[in-house]
Each structure stands twice: as C-alpha cells, then as structure tokens.
Amino acid sequence: MANLLKTVVTSCSCPLLSNLGSCKVVPGKKEFLRTFHTHQALWCKSPTKPGIPYKQLTVGIPKEIFQNEKRVALSPAGVQALVKQGFNVVVESGAGEASKFSDDHYRAAGAQIQGTKEVLASDLVVKVRAPMLNPTLDIHEADLLKTSGTLISFIYPAQNPDLLDKLSKRQTTVLAMDQVPRVTIAQGYDALSSMANIAGYKAVVLAANHFGRFFTGQITAAGKVPPAKILIVGGGVAGLASAGAAKSMGAIVRGFDTRAAALEQFKSLGAEPLEVDLKESGEGQGGYAKEMSKEFIEAEMKLFAQQCKEVDILISTALIPGKKAPVLFSREMIESMKEGSVVVDLAAEAGGNFETTKPGELYVHKGVTHIGYTDLPSRMATQASTLYSNNITKLLKAISPDKDNFYFEVKDDFDFGTMGHVIRGTVVMKDGEVIFPAPTPKNIPQGAPEKPKTVAELEAEKAATVTPFRKTMTTASAYTAGLTGILGLGLSAPNLAFSQMVTTFGLAGIVGYHTVWGVTPALHSPLMSVTNAISGVVVVVAWAPAGTGLGWAASISSGAATAISFAVTAMEEGLTAVGGLALMGGHLYPSTTAQSLAALATFISSVNIAGGFLVTQRMLDMFKRPTDPPEYNYLYLLPAGTFVGGYLAALSSGYNIEQIMYLGSGLCCVGALAGLSTQGTARLGNALGMIGVAGGLAATLGGLNPSPELLAQMSGAMALGGTIGLTIAKRIQITDLPQLVAAFHSLVGLAAVLTCIAEYIVEYPHFATDVAANLTKIVAYLGTYIGGVTFSGSLIAYGKLQGILNSAPLLLPGRHMLNAGLLTASLGGIIPYMLDPSFGTGILCLGSVSALSAIMGVTLTAAIGGADMPVVITVLNSYSGWALCAEGFLLNNNLLTIVGALIGSSGAILSYIMCVAMNRSLANVILGGYGTTSTAGGKPMEISGTHTEINLENAIDMIREASSIIITPGYGLCAAKAQYPIADLVKMLTEQGKKVRFGIHPVAGRMPGQLNVLLAEAGVPYDIVLEMDEINEDFPDTDLVLVIGANDTVNSAAQEDPNSIIAGMPVLEVWKSKQVIVMKRSLGVGYAAVDNPIFYKPNTAMLLGDAKKTCDALQAKVRESYQK
C-alpha cells in the first residue's frame, strides 16, 4: 500500500527486504517524503534510494460519472508517457469514449482495461472531477479508493469539506489540480489555465452560434453589416482566449480588468482596453485580481452600465478563489441591452457574474440570450482531455524526477516559485491529514516590475522636463547663432564672388538635403558608390594651372576634403585627384618631386573614380526582377554626346562657356542622387552621374588647353588608374564591398597627404607676395592631418572588416588621454609652421603632423568595433563633402559647391539614420563608447530560464505549417554568404502560396544597404525586402520569423530593460510573432555583448549551427518535402 511517511529517510546499510516489519523512522517536523511500499522495510545500515520503483506502482484512470462530463483524465498519449516512465496503467472500460478515445487506443498505448472497482483501487488514481457518489454501484468513489493511496484530481478543498472528511478516513494523499500555484515553473501543470483557455474559446463559439449577425463587418450588394461589439470582463487566461478568438473572427473587442498588466495583454491582442477614471491597482496574489475599494466598484458599475447599452455580446470571467463569484452586472444592466444580445457567464459554476445567470442553463431573458453552462471545457472533450493529460504527466514527472523510484518531499519551508512551492501548494491532504491551505512561501516578489518605458515615452518625458521658456530660448539662440554666422560671412567676404557662392552653397545644401532624404534605404549602398564616382568630377575641375588664380587653394582644399572621409565610404574618394591634376606638370613625364607626387595622387584617385560607376551599375543590376521590362540604357549616349559634343563645337568657335558646363554637370549630379531615390529611376540616376562627370571633364580640358605631352601624361595616369579600378570593381564580390571601400579610402588619404605636401612645395615661392598665403598654408596643414588620419584609420578599418584584425574594439589604457595628447601635438605644430617662414620648418611640421595623424588614425579606429564602421564611414564622408564645398568657395566654382553639398548632405543623413537606429549619439560611436542615450545606468536585468533547441526536421515542420513568414537577416548571413540558399528557399515557399518577406534593420551589415544588395544579388525581389519601420507592426500577425545571423537588432532587452546598454534602441520586434526560429552558431552575445531575452521566450526555438550549412540543409529539406 502507498504510504505517506512523515519523515525524511535516514541512511541505511541494506536493501529493501520483503515480509519484514514496518520501516523505522525518525520523526521530522512537517517534512514528508512520499514513498510507496508493500510490506517492505529499511534495514538501516546502507544508503538506498527512497521510494519504490515505478514498475511496482499502478495508475488508474476511472470513467467520469459527473453529469454530462465527457472528459477523461489521461489520453492514450499520456498513458504511453507513463508506461514509458515505468508505471503500470489501468483504464476503466469506456472511460475515453466521450473524448473519442476508444479502449483499443488505450490498449495500444500500453494500458489494461478493467472495471470501476479495480481501477479506483490503484496506487495512484487520476480523475478530472472530484470523487462523488456512484449511482450505479450506490457507493461513494472515495470509499473505493485504496487505503493510503494517492488521488490526483480537481478537488476545490475550500468548497468541499465533506469530501475531505471522506478522503481523510481512507488516509489518502490528495494532489488538487486546482491548487497548483500560479508561478512560472508550474505553467506546464496548470490545469485551471488549460481548461480556462478552452472555456474562453468555446464561449466565443457559443456566442457566435446564438448571435443573429456576423462577427465581422461586411459590405455586400444587399447592404452594409456592422461588426459585432464584444466586451470581455477579466483578463485572465479565459478572457484573453476569448479576446483572441473574437478578434480573429472580425469583431470589435473591448476588454476590462482591474490589473494594468491584463489591460496590456488585451491591447496586444488588438482589443480596446477599458479603464475607469479612478486610479487603483488591482494586482493580487496567485494571478488573481484583488477586491477593489467601494469607490472603484461604483465607477466600475457606471462603466458597465454604459457598455451594456453599446455592446452586442458580454463575456465575463471574474472569479474569487474559494468564494462566490462577484455579481458585476445587475438585472437592470442586462435589460438595457439590445434585443438579440448574448451574455456568456464563465463564472456560472461559482454563482455567476450576471444577476440573471442560471448556472448550467441556456435561456433568454428580455431578448438577451444567457449562456450559463458550467461544463464548457467538457464540450470540447478531446482537446480538454489532451491538455489535462499533459498537465498530469508533466506534474508527475516534475515532482518525482528520479528515473527509477517514485517519491516526493512535502515541506512547509519553501521559496516562492520553486518546485517545493508547487508540491506544497498542490498537496492538500497527506496520509489523511488535511494540510490545506499551504503556508506562505518565502522570498515572495514585491510585485511585477514596472513596464519599461518606450523610446517615445522616454523622449516625451525628457521633453516635459524642458520648460516652454527654455525650449523657445534654445530655438531662438540657434537662429541667432545662424544669422550671426551669415553676417560674419558677409563681413569677412574678400569679394562679391564669395557672397554669390555662399548663396549657391545654401541653395545646393537645401536641394541635397531633400534629394538624399528621398533615397530608398535599400539603395544606400548604390548611393555611396555613385557619389564616389560623381566626386571624381573635381578631377577635371582641378586641372587649373598651378599659377592661375586660386588653383593652389583648390588643390589643397581638395586634399583636405577627401582626407576627411575617415574610413570607408566610397562617395568622395575621387576628391584628391583635384589637387593631383592641378599640380601635374612637365611633359610626357613629371620632372619635379611635386609633379611626381601629383601624378601619383591622380593615379590613386582614378582607381576610385572608374570603379565607382561600375560597382554602382553592378549593384543596380542585382535589383532587376524577371518581370521588369527590357532596358535600353545605351540611349543615354544621346544626351551625353549632345552635351559634350555641343561644348566642343562651341569651344572651337571661340565661346567660353565653362561655367555653364559646370552648372549642367552639377545638375546632372543632383539628378543622379535624385534618381537613386527609387528602384524605377536608379539606372537613370547612374547614367546622369556619368554624363555629369563627362561634361565636367570636357569643360576642364577645354579651359586648361594643356600641351599634347602634358595631356598624354594626364590621360595615362587616369587611364592606368581607371583600368585598375574597373578590374577591381568587376571582380570584387558584393560581400567584400565594405572592405573594398575602406581599402580605397586609405588610398584617398595617402593621396591627400601627397597632394598637400606637393602643393606646399609648389606654392612656397609665391608665399611672400600672395595675400592669401596664410590661408593656403592652413589648408595644406589641415589637409595633411586629415589625410594621415584617413590613411591609417582606413587600413585599420579594412583589417577589421576583412578579418585580418580582431573586429572587437581595442581599448588601450588611457586611450582618451592618448588621443587628446596626439591632437594637441598636431594642432600645436601649426604654431611654428605659421610663424617661421622658412621652407625647412614648413616641411618638418608637415612631416610631423603626417606621422602624428597616422598614429591617431590607428588609436581612434582600433577602439571602434567592426559593427560601428558604417557610421564612421558616413560621418567622414559628410565632412569631405563640406570640405569640397570649401574648395568651391576658393575656386569660385559652382560645380564643386553643388557636388560638395550633395556629398555632405548624403553622409550627414546616413550618419543620422544609423545613429537613430542604434539610439546612440555620434560622439558615442566615434569615440568607441557604449550604451544608448536612454540607458538608465543601473544593473542590467538578469535573464533566467531555459531555451528550446530544435533540429532541422522540427524547423521544416514549423516552416511548412506557417502561412506568413518574415526573415530577419543580420551580418551573420553576410559572413556565411548564405543569401543564395535563402533566396532559393524563399522562392520555393512563395510558389507554395506562403507570404514571405524580409525585415532589414538600418544598421544590419557593415555598410548602409549591404543586406539589401546581397539579397538582390541572390535574386530576392526588392519589393519583399522591407525596412524595420515598414515591417515592425506586422510581426504580431506573422506565423513564423526566421532570425538568421542577427542578435542585437532583434534584442528585446532594448525595450524590456531600461538599464541595458542598448535601451531604447529601435529593434525588429520579432518576439511578437507567433513563433520564432533563431539560427546562430551559439547562444553567445552579439556585438553589443548583451544577452538576448528572446532566446528564452516560450515562442522561440534555437536552431544552432553554421549559418551556411543550416541554410543549405533547410533549402534541401524543404525542396525534398515539397517534391514528395
């Protein structure tokens, strides 16, 4: 017989022996060990396992005899699980018939079919309803239980004291399924929630059956049908199940609960949460709401009375544990409802929430249909029995985890949320002794933590702290500073031409701003590439003779402009050719050091110029879809030929129209960026860029009129560089584009240094007589500094992106002080450089600042992680654009000013977009910092729980069952080059009628738009690749999300943990979908080194392994499954 010992078994020296006296025990204080034995004893000298082997225990499943009860305690699958664990299982004949489980099903699962008395005499009896009088046998079921046996069932001990008396006489140990604590660890055993879920769903189905209209609104030829309005009171499991079912059927759903968390749940399901004006928290213990104050109840009644006049269906679920259900709706409220309305009372068994409810009955009162059934779960017997069976089997396995023997301890001393809490709360009787209710657990949480504020809420809170006066003063101060600056420019203008150029710059800046903002995020990579090519137009502009006007200033400013482009962007890499070509001289070969440096700078810059348009065209070709119409881009040779040919004809006739040509070229450059705003006009944009560069080249050559020998040298340098650039651009893989840009940028930085030093050498003899000599020297010094930083920093960026160097930030001790010292020394060098007019001092200072800036480029870039390189690229790209504008001012050249404004606007906007996407400041990124602008600074949230791992077969099943799928790739997809199998997988799934889309985070990848280009290269149509802002609101309606190689961009800690270093960062809200599969190498952190809570969410499954191999396997398995 099964006995519950009030002991903890002591160490023993010999095994269990049969036919001996009862076992010797040591009395303990309220600590119990559940063990089963049949006349066995413990010889206390050797340690043995407590309990009894599973194979010696019998589990009985009797047939339920409660009126209209169709459920059964264990399904055949549950029986099979217990048999596998070692139990013997007996089932009463016909026990599962009402649930569609035949006796043959149970036999096949390993059970024996026996009679009522034999089943109830088992060691463990598992039931749904509490024991009651058996009318057939005329005996109470409790009297048929085995003495000292165990019963697992719904008991409701507070309402059934007489039943407890009967069970006590049988010395029964009782586990009440209705007393399983509402804690996280017990969710799998919570039978009340399982049944409530079914009841909530069934309530909506019954309401729809008795309601005379559609739930969803319709517009038909016969007229318009309004949607049904449903009010659900109570945001527990049943209420939320009702809300989800009603919303899916198209009804307008409203939800009410006294708990803020429940209202949030209603809102997440698409229901309208209702609240009263009076603020009072309804959070109670055990997952239930607490009783509210008199004032709150009065406000609540007023709200209900108003809603009764508006809604068509009322579903109420409010219960108070161990007490009669509260009456929330009076007779007057019900009678105020429209005729044909329906009310469903899920609290009917406990008395009901409606004054007019008749428990167990369906009837109509004053035109309102009342559904007061008390057996809703039983009306879906198969589903209810399956879930209840799962609860039972999981509970038995959890309380007795030993693989061989069955036993469990019952302790009065236990912590909240532990297995000890679950066992003590569930066991209401032990060996006939009533131990209900359970004592209060230790370490009870102080209540649910406050919901983290969203980014919008944080910004609104921050804005609220600023007084209107301060806000207006800040705005007024900004405008004052801007207008003062304009006045300063006017006062310092050396001539009228400068003032006119400021006007051109201002207008060009506005045009550039609006043009670049319109560019589709998917085209950001082509945008960076085409601006690189466009910036090459300054090559031709800079072919001004070294001694004419402001040619020297143009070359120096150009070198500074390109050097500013600090690590990667391909937009402005041709800028240094300006200075190089301007300084070229000699005949077929350069004859001086300065001319040699200039020729080298021109050659280096030409590599970038020629490759820019080809890379852009390659990327745009990847976005072509099979359904797109044919293209005839060669026809753009017509406007190009007219533009260039017309200029040459005018030049031969003696007309000087170079400035008009510059204007035309500038407008073409504006058109190039505007064309890249959409996929439909992107190829036109690239063609316009080529036309603009060609026009600028022709105009500059016409204005310079170089000797045939010098023209041959210029052409040779550019041709050789261009050939190399075209070769590299043709062979480079798209996945290597970021490091290609970084490598090219290092050449730009080197060319800038060479150009600036060469310009100083060439112009030094004129400094004594030139009124602008000091400005020339300053620009040369700054250009050398920025070029040095760009050169070394770009090499470091290349190493990080290529994998030659560790992409993790190198945080040197005292790095900020080191960088400050290098910057101070670099700036301090300008003092002797400007004060001492000697050539030797000037060259020494330029050489020193070159070395110092190169070191600073290493220390700055090494401290920035590989994932932040895109921001570094775009920031310095913006700087180079503004430097190019400065060159336009010095040369009085409209083309340079317009192109510079475009490049500066483009870089600034891309930098802003990425910083906003990370919720970080620009200084935080550039200085290698961590944390967002919303990080609170406290201890980050501790993530607990277990993750769920699945295999390939499980993933295939989930994919096949989903009808709506979103794929969110990260840099892991780029690194693994897994875009090709994913593209093929998407194609197959789309052919099967599934809705498949991609969600791209703005900072995913290693440069803006990289993932868009990679997916386009693999053949993914661009119209199913959406940005974060476009797709985030679709996740709740998505069946499955595949996260491939992404981590930080899908990290829910950004919204859930205000102390996280990524707090407030906009992320792809993948966890809101129905199911998530995360494909990663491991559970490791991402670049931000923040644990990801989504790995441990119940709707997330981890598919660990190499991304490329996993994607290849998914592709093959899906293809194989659809070919069967």
Could you tell me what percentage of the chain is helix, strand and coil, using 3-state DSSP and rounding each to the nearest 5?
55, 10, 35
Beta bridge partners of 90: 60, 112
| Bridging pattern class, strands 433-434 and 427-430 | antiparallel
At residue 290, the pLDDT reads: 62
Beta bridge partners of 175: 152, 427
At residue 297, the pLDDT reads: 87
Beta bridge partners of 7: 27
**CATH 3.40.50.1220 location in the chain:** 952-1123
One DSSP character per residue, 824-865 reads HHHHHTHHHHHH---HHHHHHHHHHHHHHHHHHHHHHHHTS-
The mean pLDDT of the chain is 78
Minimal CA–CA distance to 125: which of 181, 87, 169, 178? 87
Q: How many CA atoms lie within 13 A of 1000 on its CB side?
A: 30
Name, in order, each residue with C-beta under 8 angstroms of 751's C-beta and a sequence gap of 6 or more: 559, 562, 576, 577, 580, 600, 601, 604, 605, 787
Bigger pLDDT: 373 or 50?
373
At residue 368, the pLDDT reads: 96
pLDDT tens for each residue of 148-164: 999 999 999 988 999 99
Between CA 268 and CA 274 the distance in angstroms is: 14
The alpha-helical segments, DSSP class H, found in 73-115 are 76-85, 103-109
Topology at the third CATH level for domain 192-374: Rossmann fold (3.40.50)
Which pTM value belongs to this model?
0.52
Minimal CA–CA distance to 313: which of 210, 196, 383? 210
User: Has residue 53 got a pLDDT over 80?
Assistant: yes
- For 375-388, b/e burial (b = at least 16 CB within 10 A) is bbbbbbbbbbbbbb
**125 SS3 class:** strand
Minimal CA–CA distance to 1124: which of 1004, 925, 956? 956
1008 phi and psi angles, rounded to 5 deg: -55, 130
667 phi and psi angles, rounded to 5 deg: -65, -35
Residue 590 preceded by cis peptide, ω within 30: no
Between CA 794 and CA 53 the distance in angstroms is: 70
Cβ atoms within 10 Å of 548's Cβ, excluding its own:
11
pLDDT tens for each residue of 470-512: 877 887 887 788 778 767 766 665 556 666 666 767 776 766 6
At residue 329, the pLDDT reads: 95
- Active site (catalytic) residues: 971, 1006, 1087
Bigger pLDDT: 712 or 310?
310
User: Has residue 780 got a pLDDT over 90?
Assistant: no
CATH of domain 952-1123: 3.40.50.1220
User: Has residue 932 got a pLDDT over 70?
Assistant: no
210-213 long-range Cβ contacts below 8 angstroms, 24+ apart: 210/342, 210/362, 210/369, 210/371, 211/312, 211/313, 211/340, 211/342, 211/369, 212/340, 213/312, 213/340
**CATH 3.40.50.720 location in the chain:** 192-374
Minimal CA–CA distance to 1048: which of 1002, 979, 986, 980? 1002
User: Has residue 302 got a pLDDT over 50?
Assistant: yes
Name, in order, each residue with C-beta under 8 angstroms of 104's C-beta and a sequence gap of 6 or more: none
Bigger pLDDT: 262 or 747?
262
| Bridging pattern class, strands 88-92 and 133-134 | unpaired
Q: Cα-Cα-Cα-Cα dihedral of 359, 363, 368, 371, to 10°?
A: 40
| Tokens (6 digits) for 57 | 């225990």
Angle at 853 between CA 847 and CA 858, to 5 degrees: 135
User: Has residue 337 got a pLDDT over 80?
Assistant: yes
At residue 33, the pLDDT reads: 43
| Bridging pattern class, strands 362-365 and 368-371 | antiparallel
At residue 469, the pLDDT reads: 80
DSSP classification of residue 939: P
At residue 674, the pLDDT reads: 74
The whole-number average pLDDT for the span 269-290 is 73
Window from 213-222, 612-621, 709-718 with minimum mean pLDDT: 612-621
Between CA 548 and CA 427 the distance in angstroms is: 99
For the ranges 384-393, 735-744, 1087-1096, the maximum mean pLDDT occurs at: 384-393
For the ranges 244-253, 401-410, 657-666, 1095-1104, the maximum mean pLDDT occurs at: 244-253
Bigger pLDDT: 238 or 1083?
238
| Tokens (6 digits) for 957 | 């099943």
| Tokens (6 digits) for 720 | 């050789």
The whole-number average pLDDT for the span 959-986 is 84
Share of the chain above pLDDT 70, in %: 74
Confidence of residue 1010 (pLDDT cuts 50, 70, 90): confident
Confidence of residue 221 (pLDDT cuts 50, 70, 90): confident
Between CA 346 and CA 200 the distance in angstroms is: 8
224 phi and psi angles, rounded to 5 deg: -95, 135
Angle at 203 between CA 200 and CA 208, to 5 degrees: 135
Confidence of residue 577 (pLDDT cuts 50, 70, 90): very low
